[in-house]
């Protein structure tokens, strides 16, 4: 099995759709279910799509800044993504607090962020990350984490973020309706994520229900990320020290 760095595991699965099509993202399946068609993957790669799905847009910007070593900007962008309930962004923020990347080391806050990132219990990797933090913390750090949990949940939990996702998708759909995109019978024009070219995008793919119905959108992302992560083996580092491996199983 291929070994994947933590930052890659947290941020690559949806990036293969939105920015790095090194493999065909439509080939990733969950329990035999094809999660994306090629046309849907193509639609997701455009700025038009990302500007309508700010959770993914800011995740991309955060990843770009992180890989460039600009941790302060990465934290800002990831927080914007996490504000819309993106669990990968929340987990990456936790890791940055744990390692002191762009911020002072704060292991209690790292745990609190990892806890909310794992709240859906749909991805064992995120649950494992949270438990590893807890096991490595001191009694005082655990107490501090519990104390700040209310603040973290108020901003980043599904209960807090889902209404934002609903509003985001509703506003974007209204904008597209005004532009008349939804009435096109053949293809629509959208911009590539890098802004370098225009593509003809099929409206039935761009407006697939899983991208615009809030509940289906959240479920789709959970399925896609989980399926992508399970293709590899994850190594988790705490403060630069290598811990045991978390095994992912391909299905």
Residue 229 has pLDDT above 70, yes or no: no
Share above pLDDT 90 across residues of the chain, in percent, rounded to a whole number: 46
Q: Identify the band that residue 155 occupies on the pLDDT scale cut at 50, 70 and 90.
A: very high
Q: Which two tokens stand for residue 181?
A: 């995109």
77-97 pLDDT tens trace: 999 999 999 998 999 999 999
Cβ 49 vs Cβ 190: under 8 Å: yes
Cβ 216 vs Cβ 209: under 8 Å: yes
Of residues 118 and 228, which shows the higher confidence score? 118
What pLDDT is stored for residue 48 in this prediction? 84
- Rounded distance between C-alpha atoms, residue 209 and residue 150, angstroms: 33
pTM listed for this prediction: 0.79
Q: Identify the band that residue 240 occupies on the pLDDT scale cut at 50, 70 and 90.
A: very low
Q: Identify the band that residue 9 occupies on the pLDDT scale cut at 50, 70 and 90.
A: very low
What pLDDT is stored for residue 67 in this prediction? 86
- Rounded distance between C-alpha atoms, residue 157 and residue 121, angstroms: 13
Residue 235 has pLDDT above 70, yes or no: no
Share above pLDDT 70 across residues of the chain, in percent, rounded to a whole number: 67
Which residue from 226, 227, 229, 230 is spatially nearest to 249, judged by alpha carbons?
A: 230
Give Cα separations from 143 to 112, 149, 205, 219 (angstroms): 11, 10, 48, 33
What pLDDT is stored for residue 189 in this prediction? 58
H or E element that contains 178: helix 158-179
Q: Identify the band that residue 211 occupies on the pLDDT scale cut at 50, 70 and 90.
A: very high
Q: Is 244 left (phi over 0), alpha (psi -120 to 50) or beta?
A: beta
Q: Could you state, in order of their start, the residue ranges of all structural domains in the chain? A: 3-246
């Amino acid at each position: 099995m291929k070994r994947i760095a933590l930052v890659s595991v947290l941020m690559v699965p949806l990036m293969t759709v939105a920015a790095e099509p090194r493999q065909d993202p439509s080939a990733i399946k969950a329990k035999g279910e094809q999660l994306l068609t090629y046309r849907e993957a193509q639609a997701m790669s455009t700025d038009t799509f990302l500007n309508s799905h700010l959770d993914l847009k800011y995740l991309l910007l955060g990843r770009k800044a992180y890989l460039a070593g600009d941790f302060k900007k990465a934290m800002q962008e990831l927080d914007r993504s996490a504000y819309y309930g993106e669990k990968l962004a929340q987990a990456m923020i936790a890791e940055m607090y744990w390692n002191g990347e762009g911020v002072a080391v704060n292991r209690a806050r790292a745990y609190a962020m990892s806890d909310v990132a794992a709240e859906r219990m749909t991805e064992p990797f995120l649950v494992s990350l949270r438990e590893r933090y807890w096991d490595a913390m001191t009694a005082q750090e655990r107490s501090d984490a519990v104390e700040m949990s209310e603040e973290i949940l108020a901003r980043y939990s599904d209960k807090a973020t889902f209404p934002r996702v609903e509003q985001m998708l509703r506003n974007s759909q209204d904008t597209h309706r005004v532009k008349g995109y939804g009435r096109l019978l053949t293809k629509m024009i959208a911009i590539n994520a890098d802004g370098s070219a225009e593509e003809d995008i099929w409206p039935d793919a761009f407006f697939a229900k899983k991208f615009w119905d809030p509940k289906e959108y959240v479920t789709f992302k959970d399925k896609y990320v989980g399926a992508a992560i399970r293709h590899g083996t994850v190594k988790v580092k705490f403060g630069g020290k290598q811990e045991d491996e978390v095994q992912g199983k391909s299905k």
